[in-house]
């Protein structure tokens, strides 16, 4: 039992679990077959948000975001001037998550960098 998730998180969760990930892979839109079970769940998301808030983090690095539920959860725990960089290998996942990030007042804190993590780690937070 935990705090209710925000509307953007609920929308992202529903969009993720109802998406046909097998078809996306068959169409060649992703390099890997991605199971919807990879999503961070509600309780895990709230725990991440709490840890970010309690530690007074201002910058967060996430390696591998899947559809962004964990990233958005953590962004909700960041201060207004905080930032989260999510390194994601699959460009499709950035396209999938970005519309929901854009709906959230916390989405502006998230920068998704696509490509191998070692390449995307170079540079500033945004």
Domain ranges of the chain: 7-120
Residues in the chain: 126
Residue 124: per-residue pLDDT: 60
Q: Tell me the angle at which helices 69-77 and 7-18 cross, rounded to the nearest 10 degrees.
A: 170
pTM score, whole prediction: 0.93
Q: In the CATH scheme, what is the homologous superfamily, with its name and number, of domain 7-120?
A: Vaccinia Virus protein VP39 (3.40.50.150)
> pLDDT digit of tens for each residue in the chain (126 aa)?
789 999 999 999 999 999 999 999 999 999 999 999 999 999 999 999 999 999 999 999 999 999 999 999 999 999 999 999 999 999 999 999 999 999 999 999 999 999 988 887 776 655
Provide the b/e sequence for 53-85 (b: ≥16 CB within 10 Å).
Answer: eeeebeebebeebbbbbbbbbbbbbbeeebbbb
Angle at 113 between CA 112 and CA 118, to 5 degrees: 140
Residue 4: per-residue pLDDT: 94
């Amino acid at each position: 039992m935990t705090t209710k998730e925000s509307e953007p998180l609920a929308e992202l969760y529903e969009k993720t679990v109802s998406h046909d990930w097998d078809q996306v892979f068959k169409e060649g839109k992703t390099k890997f077959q991605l199971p919807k079970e990879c999503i961070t769940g509600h309780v895990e998301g709230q725990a991440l948000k709490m840890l970010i808030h309690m530690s007074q983090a201002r910058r967060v690095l996430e390696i591998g975001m899947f559809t962004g539920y964990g990233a958005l959860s953590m962004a909700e725990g960041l201060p207004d001037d905080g930032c989260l960089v999510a390194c994601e290998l699959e460009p499709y996942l950035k396209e999938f998550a970005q519309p929901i990030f854009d709906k959230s007042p916390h989405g502006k804190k998230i920068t998704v960098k696509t490509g191998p993590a070692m390449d995307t780690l170079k540079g500033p937070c945004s």
